[in-house]
C-alpha cells in the first residue's frame, strides 16, 4: 500500500492528501492553499491549471478550510505562496501579521476591480477578493403563498415553524444576525435587537453548513428562510420548486480572497497568479461555476447566470451587505455566547 501511494504521488495530477501538482517543464514548485469541494474544483479548473500551463510552472495544492490554512501560516506557512481564505479569517490573518502587503500596481487587472474587492488596514492592502457569495431569502414556491421580500417577513405568522437560517457556527451566521439587527433598526455594534427578535422566531432548524441547509429544503423541513444564493440555484437545478429573493435590505455577503503569505518564497509568481485570477476569462468561469459575483467590472455574464447572482439580475456588489469583519471578529465570542444562550437555549 505504501508503495502504491508513492507511485500515485509521482503522477502529474493528484487529487488526494498529497495535493495536486500540475505538470510543467519548470522544476520550480508553486504552492497554493486552496479549498476542497466544488470551490476547489472551480479554482483548479479556472485558475490553477490554465495558469500552470501558461507560465510552465508546477503547482502544488494544499487543500484545507480557511481556518486550517491560517493555522499553517501561523506555524510557518508550509512554503505557501498564495493563500485563499474567506472573509473574516482573512482579517484574522492580517491581525496575526502572517501576510505581505499587496502592491496593486503589480496587478494590472486591479484597474478593472470593483472598489469593494480590495481590503486594506492602516493604509496597506492585505487581500483582494476573487468573488462574492451571499445569503438571501429562499422559499419553496409550492409551500409559500406570499413570497418574502424583507428580512422582517420571516416573522410572518404563516412562516412560523417552517423557517431555516445559518447558525453562528456557519461562516455567515453572525453576519446574518447582524443583518437582522440592522433590519429592525439596530446597528452593527451589537446584536441585542436581533437576539430578542430571533428568540421569538419559530425555526424548524438552524444549519451549520450550506449542504445541511439544502437538505432542510429538500426534505421539506423548511419552506422559507435565509440561505446561500448558490444553494437555492443548486436546489432549483435539481427540480425543486425553490426561488431566491434578494432582501430589500440587501443580501448578506461573504467572499473568497487571495493573499500573499509573509513567508512566500516566490512573490513575483504570486502576483502573476492573483492577476490571472482577476482576469475576465478566469472571473467569468468562476461565476458560471459557483454563481459568485465577479469582481472584474469587465465581465459580461449570460442572462441565465445574471439571474442567479447573489444581488439579483440588475444589482451589483455595491448592493450587498458586507460585514465589517474586524469589528465582528472583536465581538465574535461575546455575540456567539449571547445568541446560543438566548436563541438556542
Tell me, yes or no, whether 117 lies in a domain.
yes
Predicted confidence at residue 17, as pLDDT, reads 38
Same-domain pairing of 223 and 261:
no
Q: Lowest mean pLDDT: which of 25-29, 221-225, 330-334?
A: 25-29
Mean pLDDT confidence for 169-194: 95
> Three-state SS across 166-235?
ECCCCCCHHHHHHHHHHHCCCCCCCCHHHHHHHHCCCEEEEECCHHHHHHHHHCCCCCEEEEEHHHHHHH
Tell me, yes or no, whether 192 lies in a domain.
yes
CA dist 96 and 75 (Å) reads 11
Same-domain pairing of 221 and 338:
yes
Same-domain pairing of 51 and 162:
no
Domain at 248, CATH number: 3.40.190.10
Mean pLDDT confidence for 182-193: 94
**Is the per-residue pLDDT at 25 higher than 80?**
no
Backbone angles phi, psi at 10, to 5 degrees: -90, -10
**Is the per-residue pLDDT at 2 higher than 90?**
no
Residue 115's domain spans which residues? 2-132+254-313
Task: Enter the C-alpha cell of residue 28.
Answer: 520550480
Strands 224-228 and 124-140: antiparallel
CA dist 28 and 184 (Å) reads 55
Share of residues in the chain with pLDDT > 70 (%): 92
Share of residues in the chain with pLDDT > 90 (%): 86
Tell me, yes or no, whether 274 lies in a domain.
yes
**What's the pLDDT tens digit per position in 74-125?**
998 669 999 999 999 999 999 999 999 999 999 999 999 999 999 999 999 9
Mean pLDDT confidence for 302-319: 91
Helices (H) and strands (E) in the chain, counts: 13, 10
Strands 124-140 and 242-245: antiparallel
Q: Which of helix, strand or coil describes residue 165?
A: strand
Task: Tell the residue number behind the cell numbers 427578535, with chain if given.
Answer: 197
Tell me, yes or no, whether 318 lies in a domain.
no
Same-domain pairing of 13 and 91:
yes
Same-domain pairing of 328 and 282:
no
What average pLDDT does the chain have? Answer: 91
- From the list 208, 177, 204, 206, the residue with the least C-alpha distance to 193 is 177
Tell me, yes or no, whether 125 lies in a domain.
yes
Same-domain pairing of 235 and 119:
no
**Is residue 308 exposed (0-12), middle (13-18) or buried (19+ Cβ within 10 Å)?**
buried
CA dist 220 and 157 (Å) reads 18
Predicted confidence at residue 70, as pLDDT, reads 97
Same-domain pairing of 238 and 259:
no
Same-domain pairing of 91 and 224:
no
The domain tally of the chain equals: 2
**What's the pLDDT tens digit per position in 33-45?**
999 988 999 999 9
Same-domain pairing of 219 and 267:
no
Tell me, yes or no, whether 238 lies in a domain.
yes
Predicted confidence at residue 188, as pLDDT, reads 86
Query: Whole-model pTM?
Result: 0.87
Same-domain pairing of 164 and 236:
yes
Same-domain pairing of 154 and 268:
no
Amino acid at each position: 500500500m505504501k508503495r502504491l501511494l508513492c507511485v500515485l504521488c509521482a503522477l502529474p495530477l493528484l487529487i488526494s492528501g498529497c495535493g495536486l501538482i500540475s505538470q510543467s517543464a519548470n522544476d520550480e514548485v508553486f504552492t497554493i492553499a486552496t479549498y476542497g469541494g466544488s470551490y476547489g474544483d472551480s479554482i483548479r479548473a479556472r485558475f490553477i491549471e490554465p495558469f500552470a500551463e501558461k507560465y510552465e510552472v508546477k503547482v502544488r495544492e494544499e487543500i484545507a478550510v480557511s481556518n486550517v490554512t491560517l493555522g499553517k501560516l501561523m506555524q510557518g506557512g508550509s512554503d505557501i505562496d498564495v493563500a485563499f481564505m474567506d472573509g473574516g479569517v482573512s482579517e484574522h490573518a492580517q491581525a496575526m501579521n502572517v501576510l505581505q502587503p499587496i502592491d496593486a500596481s503589480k496587478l494590472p487587472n486591479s484597474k478593472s476591480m470593483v472598489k469593494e474587492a480590495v481590503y486594506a488596514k492602516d493604509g496597506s492592502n492585505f487581500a483582494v477578493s476573487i468573488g462574492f457569495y451571499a445569503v438571501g431569502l429562499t422559499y419553496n414556491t409550492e409551500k409559500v403563498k406570499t413570497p418574502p421580500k424583507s428580512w422582517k417577513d420571516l416573522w410572518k405568522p404563516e412562516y412560523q415553524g417552517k423557517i431555516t437560517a445559518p447558525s453562528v457556527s456557519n461562516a455567515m451566521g453572525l453576519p446574518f444576525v447582524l443583518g437582522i439587527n440592522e433590519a429592525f433598526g439596530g446597528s452593527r455594534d451589537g446584536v441585542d435587537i436581533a437576539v430578542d427578535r430571533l428568540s421569538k422566531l419559530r425555526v424548524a432548524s438552524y444549519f451549520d453548513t450550506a449542504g445541511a441547509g439544502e437538505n432542510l429544503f429538500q426534505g421539506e423541513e423548511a419552506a422559507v428562510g435565509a440561505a446561500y444564493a448558490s444553494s437555492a440555484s443548486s436546489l432549483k437545478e435539481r427540480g425543486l420548486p425553490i426561488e431566491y429573493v434578494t432582501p430589500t435590505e440587501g443580501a448578506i455577503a461573504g467572499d473568497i480572497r487571495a493573499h500573499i503569505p509573509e513567508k512566500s518564497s516566490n512573490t513575483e509568481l504570486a502576483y502573476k497568479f492573483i492577476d490571472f485570477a482577476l482576469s475576465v476569462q478566469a472571473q467569468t468561469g468562476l461565476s458560471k461555476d459557483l454563481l459568485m459575483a465577479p469582481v472584474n467590472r469587465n465581465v459580461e455574464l449570460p442572462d441565465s447566470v445574471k439571474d442567479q447572482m447573489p444581488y439579483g439580475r440588475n444589482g451589483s456588489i455595491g448592493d450587498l451587505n458586507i460585514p465589517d469583519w474586524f469589528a465582528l471578529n472583536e465581538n465574535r465570542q461575546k455575540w456567539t455566547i449571547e445568541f446560543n444562550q438566548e436563541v438556542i437555549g
